Amino acid sequence: MLSYIGRSCQLAPALKGSVQAVASGLKNAAPVTTQVRYAHSDIQVPDFSAYRRSDVQDPRTKSGESAASRTAFTYMLVGGGTVSGIYAAKSIVTEFISSMAASADVLALAKIEIKMDDIPEGKSITFQWRGKPLFVRHRTDDEIATEGAVDVASLRDPETDEQRCPDSKWLVVLGVCTHLGCVPIADAGDFGGYYCPCHGSHYDGAGRIRKGPAPLNLEIPPYEFQGDLLVVG
Partner 1 sequence: MAAPIRKSHPLFSIANGALVDLPTPANISTLWNFGSLLGLCLVVQIATGLFLAMHYTADITLAFSSVAHICRDVNYGWLLRATHANGASFFFICLYSHIGRGIYYGSFLYMHTWSVGVIILFLVIATAFLGYVLPWGQMSFWGATVITNLMSAIPFLGTDLVQWIWGGFAVHNATLTRFFTFHFLLPFIVAAATMVHILFLHQTGSNNPLGVSSQLEKVPFHPYFSFKDIVGFMVMLMALILLTLLNPYLLGDPDNFIPANPLVTPAHIQPEWYFLFAYAILRSIPNKLGGVIALVMSVAILFVLPFTHKAKFRSLSFYPLNQFMFWTLVTIVVLLTWIGARKVEDPYILTGQILTGAYFLFYLINPLTLLIWDKLMD
Who's near 164: CB < 8 A, 6+ residues apart?
171, 173, 206, 207, 208, 217, 220
Residues 166 and 171: their CA atoms lie apart, in Å, by 9
Residues 37 and 69: their CA atoms lie apart, in Å, by 30
Rounded to 5°, the CA angle 214-172-205 comes to: 60
Output the smallest distance, CB 156 to partner 1, in A. Answer: 40
SS3 108: helix
Site string for partner 1, 66-95 (x = CB under 8 A): -----------------------------x
- Residue-wise over 34-64: b if at least 16 C-beta within 10 A, else e? eebbeeeeeeeeeeeeeeeeeebeebeeeee
Residue 41 contacts partner 1 per CB under 8 A: no
Residues 214 and 200: their CA atoms lie apart, in Å, by 9
Output the smallest distance, CB 98 to partner 1, in A. Answer: 4
Toward partner 1, which CB reaches closer, 30 or 97?
97
Phi, psi of 232, deg, nearest 5: -110, 130
Site string for partner 1, 142-181 (x = CB under 8 A): ----------------------------------------
Site string for partner 1, 91-110 (x = CB under 8 A): ----xx-xxxx-xxxx----
Beta-bridged to residue 231, according to DSSP, are 113, 224
Output the smallest distance, CB 175 to partner 1, in A. Answer: 27
Toward partner 1, which CB reaches closer, 2 or 26?
2
Residue 30 contacts partner 1 per CB under 8 A: no
Toward partner 1, which CB reaches closer, 17 or 85?
85
Judged by CB under 8 A, how many residues of this single chain contact partner 1? 10
Residue 29 contacts partner 1 per CB under 8 A: no
Residues 115 and 5: their CA atoms lie apart, in Å, by 92
Catalytic residues: 199
Output the smallest distance, CB 93 to partner 1, in A. Answer: 11
Output the smallest distance, CB 131 to partner 1, in A. Answer: 16
Contact residues toward partner 1 (CB under 8 A) are: 95-96, 98-101, 103-106
